Amino acid sequence: MKSLSICWILAIFFLVSCKKSQLSELSLPYFPPLNSNQWETVAPTALGWSLSGLDSLRKFLQQRRTKAFIILKNGRIAVEWYFDRFTADSVWYWASAGKTLTALLVGIAQQEGLLKITDRTAEYLGRGWTSLPPEKENLITIRHQLTMTTGLDEDVPDSDCTLKSCLVYKADAGTRWAYHNAPYTLLEQVVETAARTEYNNFFRRAVGNRIGMNGRWVNIGFNNVFFSDARSMARFGLLLLHRGKWDGTALLKDQNYFNEMVSSSQNFNPAYGYLTWLNGKNAYMLPGIKTTFSGPIMPNAPADLFAALGKNDQKIYVVPSEQLVIIRMGEMAGGVRAALSGFDNELWGYLRRAMKM
């Protein structure tokens, strides 16, 4: 009887040790291999998540015209859902979520000595790239393009238009914040001029090939829009979670730049970094609205969340404190907005319940 009790104790000890070892292993960061469909998964139950909460989340996403939804925990896939005949191989547009990818590419270009974000934009686009007087045009720098503070008038008939005639004076650069696509889009020409290569080539060399991410930029009217599959979007989110590093290799060594990218970049809209949205701030502004709202952009989400947000609710959420990356692709879910919509905060209510946060 005594030896039997000892056996039971040893068995329980072994099971507890195995469980601790498994949890410890799951807490380690993981990166999927390059040029492979292999990707480690983790069961939501192993994370202590609510199955009923996940079921409610799935129904909510399906009702809101979602096509792809992925949750990574420490890099491993905890949730991967596809809807409406969309598959892991399907390609979708990022809309303005691609702005954050451009911000990272500009940082890498600066790291390589190709440009400085304090440089005047005219050094790369040439004098007279706007309709502004030379003394006003020369105030605009690459950093102003990254922070939506160029001072160019966004209330022109077509705010996407990058023609000189569409780029008109509203205020001195650095004196106001306004969400304006055209100056952002022209950042791509700045990088092309600095790197002496086409933008897609620079993307593949600097990021895509180095993290196993597919996709390409496609010209649609005045805009240059990034398209990829959902897992490539998740790979980019994982790169952001690790502050520009991939499996021990720093694509962006300049951590000062990354800190600036995910911190308030100006005083007018604290919730905006370098083409990246920031939660947990005391105020924010929205695209097309000149009002300043109080509080964080997503009250239901963790305060340290930062995000790449695109029209019709294309989302990359990154939460460093929880080691989470969450992506959503699909049709409009929360009203017509260039970036943030009511869908964001509502979605985070479901996520909190599912993940027991």
Residue 22 lies in a domain: no
Residue 221 has pLDDT above 90, yes or no: yes
| Residue 16 counted as domain residue | no
Q: Is 74 within a domain?
A: yes
CA 231 to CA 87: how far, in whole Å? 10
Cα 80 off chain centre by = 18
Residue 147 lies in a domain: yes
pLDDT score at 4: 54
pLDDT of the residue at 8: 62
At 211 the pLDDT is 98
Q: Which residue is associated with the tokens 């520009």?
A: 244
Give the pLDDT mean for 191-204: 98
Q: Which of 50-54, 265-269, 331-335 has the lowest mean pLDDT?
A: 331-335
**234-255 per-residue burial string, b: 16 or more CB within 10 A, e: under 16:** bbbbbbbbbbbbbbeeebbeee
Specify if 27 maps to a domain.
no
Please give the average per-residue pLDDT across 161-165, as a whole number: 98
Name the residue among 97, 60, 67 with its Cα closest to residue 81: 67
In a domain, 100, yes or no: yes
Dist. CA 113–CA 117, nearest whole Å: 11
Q: For 277-315, how does the pLDDT look when each residue is reduced to its tens digit (9 = 90+)? A: 999 999 999 998 889 999 999 999 999 999 999 999 999
* Domain of residue 224, residue span: 46-85+92-355
> What pLDDT is recorded for position 64?
95
On the question of pLDDT at 228 being above 80, the answer is yes
Task: Give the pLDDT confidence of 92-130 residue by residue, as tens digits.
Answer: 999 999 999 999 999 999 999 999 999 999 999 999 999
DSSP state at residue 247: T
233 vs 182: CA distance, rounded Å: 24
Closest of 166, 169, 164, 133 to residue 150, by C-alpha: 169
| Angle 133-134-135 from CA coordinates, rounded to 5° | 95
pLDDT at 338: 75
Per-residue tokens: 144: 């102003």
Instruction: Give the residue ranges of DSSP H helices in 92-148.
Output: 98-111, 122-125, 134-137, 142-147
Percent of residues, the chain, with pLDDT higher than 70: 92
- Assess whether pLDDT exceeds 60 at residue 2: no
pLDDT per position as a tens digit, 132-158: 999 999 999 999 999 999 999 999 999
The answer as to whether 143 is a domain residue is yes
User: Which amino acid does the sequence have at 302?
Assistant: P
Q: Please provide the distance, in angstroms rounded to a whole number, between the alpha carbons at the two ends of the chain.
A: 45
pLDDT at 334: 78
- Number of domains comprising the chain: 1
| Whole-structure pTM value | 0.92
In this prediction, residue 10 carries a pLDDT of 59
CB hemisphere CA count around 72 (13 angstroms):
33
Nearest CA to 185 out of 210, 157, 150 is that of 150
Average pLDDT over every residue of 206-222: 97
The pLDDT value recorded for residue 35 is 86
Is 40 part of a structural domain of the chain?
no
pLDDT score recorded for residue 18: 44
Contact indicator for 230, 223 with CB cutoff of 8 Å? no
CATH of the domain at 246: 3.40.710.10
Look over the chain and give the mean of its residue pLDDT values, rounded to a whole number.
Answer: 94
Separation of alpha carbons 350 and 60, rounded Å = 8
Three-point CA angle 271, 273, 276, nearest 5°:
90
pLDDT digits (tens, 9 = 90+) for 255-266: 999 999 999 999
H runs (alpha helix) in the chain: 2-26, 51-63, 98-111, 122-125, 134-137, 142-147, 181-195, 199-203, 209-211, 230-241, 255-261, 342-355
